[in-house]
Amino acid sequence: MTHTLISPLDMHLHLRDEAMLKVVAPLSAHSFVGGIIMPNVVPPITTIEAVIAYKERIMSAIGNNVFEPLMTLFFRSDYTREFLEKAALHVKALKLYPSGITTNSEGGVASMDIEVLRPVLDAMSDLGLILCVHGETNGFVMDREKEFGSIYESLASSFPKLKIVMEHITTKESVALLDRYENLYATITLHHLLITLDDVAGGMLQPHLFCKPIAKRYEDRDALLHVSLKAHPKVMFGSDSAPHPIHKKECCGCAAGVFTAPIALQALVELFDKHNALANLQAFVSNTAQTIYGYKAPHKEVVLEKTPFVVTHSYGDVVPMFANETLAWSIKHVL
């Protein structure tokens, strides 16, 4: 039994930089034909020169794979319209982080005050640049995304022509927002379709499943599954694959992030197959994203086969999700 995916896209991807980039970029570039590259490297990507240089480093890291990195800028409220006009030639989106909310987000916005953000968001709206948002407050860890909901609502209603992507949503409340505001979209990760806080901290503590936003309750996971499996037209796959070296995951103060790039398609096919929703996976991993982003992806065929895939313990010093476990599907070949 095989299943072919055409031009799969990862609409939320961390490729990091330097040695880590060289380890992880070929893995994403093997499975996917492109993806939205997150700009929270060190230092964050805030200039056109940095965008171009980072894209070149990515292209040289991916080897012979067909892969198009869709670049983003790290959102700053002091960008000028002139700068954004030029940037629009090089990036699809800007990623907004509330300051300090996740890995390498220290330079993020200090306040979500709409009036402070307005000049940049007006310009983005006019230029067709997409706003990607890490939507968490600094409240209690289980409430952060829900608390951010009112900010999503005020962004969506204040900038009705701006496309806003709620990144890596994890709650049923975020899912509900999709149908309430025309200009709100979402990415959903593989791991948030699979796990809850019980998997992270209900038995033994599992640092490799620790991520931000943290996995929530069963009813939240079910809401995410529901819209993903039915290929909701505003929902895109974004792995949020976030590699950290093992010594930053198995330690006494462990970094947040699940590394899923090399196993994402295999696990997605298994999940959608299990729910008799394989027919909707193409939309979830590619078509919907192309529509939302107004983007035509290069052609690539990823043929998956129902053959056991034993996931390796690590890629370099990065431990993937399902390390040492066996998935039901593997990638047979890529055309």
Residues tagged active-site: 240
Which residues partner with 98 through β-bridges?
109
Residue 200 sits in the site that holds a copy of itself (CB under 8 A): yes
Question: 21 with 313: CB under 8 angstroms?
Answer: no
Residue 1 sits in the site that holds a copy of itself (CB under 8 A): no
Question: 330 with 309: CB under 8 angstroms?
Answer: yes
How many residues touch a copy of itself under the rule CB under 8 A: the total is 27
16 labelled ligand-binding: yes
Q: Which of 104, 118, 153, 207 binds a copy of itself (CB under 8 A)?
A: 207
Residue 84 sits in the site that holds a copy of itself (CB under 8 A): no
Q: Which of 19, 53, 110, 141 binds a copy of itself (CB under 8 A)?
A: 141
Sign of CA dihedral 14, 19, 24, 26: positive
User: Shortest approach of a copy of itself to residue 10 CB, angstroms?
Assistant: 24
User: Shortest approach of a copy of itself to residue 268 CB, angstroms?
Assistant: 23
Q: Hey, how many other C-beta atoms are within 10 angstroms of the C-beta on 74?
A: 24
Residue located via tokens 């670049």: 71
- Among the listed ranges 53-61, 136-144, 176-184, 224-232, the one in contact with a copy of itself (CB under 8 A) is 136-144
DSSP 117-176: HHHHHHHHHHHT-EEEE----SS-TTTHHHHHHHHHHHHHHH-TTS-EEETT--SHHHHH
Nearest to a copy of itself of 68, 240 (CB atom): 240
Nearest to a copy of itself of 3, 244 (CB atom): 244
Residue 73: both structure tokens together: 């800028």
Residue 334 sits in the site that holds a copy of itself (CB under 8 A): no
Q: What is the CA radius of gyration of the chain?
A: 18
Return residues touching a copy of itself (CB under 8 A).
140-142, 196-198, 200-202, 204-208, 210, 214, 217-218, 249-256, 319
Binding-site annotation, residues for substrate: 14-16, 40, 134, 244, 256
